Amino acid sequence: MQFRPCIDIHNGKVKQIVGGSLRDEGDVATENFVSEQDAAYFAKLYQKDGIKGGHIILLNAADSPYYKETKQQAKNALQAYPGGLQVGGGIHDGNAKEFLDAGASHVIVTSFVFREGRIFYDNLRKIEQAVGKEHLVLDLSCRKREDSYYIVTDRWQKFTEEKVTTELLDELSGYCDEFLIHAVDVEGKSKGIETELVKLLGDWGKIPVTYAGGVGSFDDLEQLKELGKGHLNVTIGSALDLFGGPMDYHSVLKFMKEERD
C-alpha cells in the first residue's frame, strides 16, 4: 500500500471539498479547506518526500470563468514536479498531450470515456492511442445504488449504468496503467471507508488501484490495508493536517514506510 497524495484545484485555489457537493453552475462546492499555498507548493513538498503517483484534479469545467486559472495552477504543479504527478479533470484526446508535455506522468480520464450512461469504446481507444496505455489512468469513481457501485460522471452527479465489477475491471485494465476510484458518497467526510468497495477492489488487485474516500484515521488505514489485502494505494484528503485535518502528514508517511518494510 502506497500513499498517493492529491492536489484538488477549484476556482484557482487548492481545496478540499465534500465530493458530492460540487456544482458547475455558479462554480460552487461545500468546502472543507481552502489552502493559502498554491499547487506548486504541494508538488514540491511531495517531490521532496519522494512521493510519486499523486493526482492533481481540475474541479472546474472547461467553460467556467475560473478554468484558465485552475489549469495554470495545475500546470505550475506539474512543472514543479516533472514526472511525479498525474492530472485529471476534463481530459480528452485533444488536450491530453498538453498535460503530459507539462510534466504529468499520466492523465486521468472519466467523462470522455464514460458518458450518456455507458462506455464509449471509440473514445477509450482514442485516448489510449493519444497518450499510450502506460500514461492512462481511468477514473472509476462511483456511488452506491441499491446493492451495487455504479460509475458516476460530470462532477460525480450523473450515474452511468456501468457497475464496478471484477469483469469490468478485467476489461478496462487492458486499456490503462492504473485505476483511480473515489468512493463518492464518503468523499470529503473523513468518517470511514466504503468497506464493500474496498474488499471488491482488494480481491481483484491485478493493476495498481488508488482508493480515495472516507479515510479519517489510522484505524481506517489499518482496515483499508486488511480489506484491500495490500493491493490498494490510498489518497487522504480532508483528514490530512496539510488540509486542516487531524492526521499528521509525516505520521502517514511513517505508517506507509513501515508497511513496505
- Give tens-digit pLDDT for 164-194: 999 999 999 999 999 999 999 887 777 899 9
The predicted pLDDT at position 18 comes to: 64
pLDDT at residue 19 tops 90: no
- Quick one: which of 88, 109, 111, 113 has its CA closest to 99? 88
pLDDT confidence tier of residue 256, bands split at 50, 70 and 90: very high
Contact 188, 19 (CB under 8 A): yes
Superfamily name and number for 6-260 = Aldolase class I (3.20.20.70)
pLDDT confidence tier of residue 156, bands split at 50, 70 and 90: confident
The predicted pLDDT at position 17 comes to: 76
* Residue of 120 and 191 predicted with greater confidence: 120
- Give tens-digit pLDDT for 26-57: 676 677 789 999 999 999 999 999 999 999 99
Structure pTM? Answer: 0.94
The predicted pLDDT at position 26 comes to: 67
- Quick one: which of 112, 107, 113, 105 has its CA closest to 136? 107
The CA dihedral of 165, 131, 20, 42, to the nearest 10 degrees, is 120
For the chain, the average pLDDT equals: 93
pLDDT at residue 88 tops 60: yes
- Give tens-digit pLDDT for 203-227: 999 999 999 999 999 999 999 999 9
Helix residue spans in 23-143 (DSSP H): 39-48, 67-80, 96-101, 121-131
Burial tier of 78 (Cβ tally within 10 Å: 0-12, 13-18, 19+): buried
Contact 108, 91 (CB under 8 A): yes
Q: What are the structural domain ranges in the chain?
A: 6-260
pLDDT confidence tier of residue 258, bands split at 50, 70 and 90: confident
DSSP, res 23: B
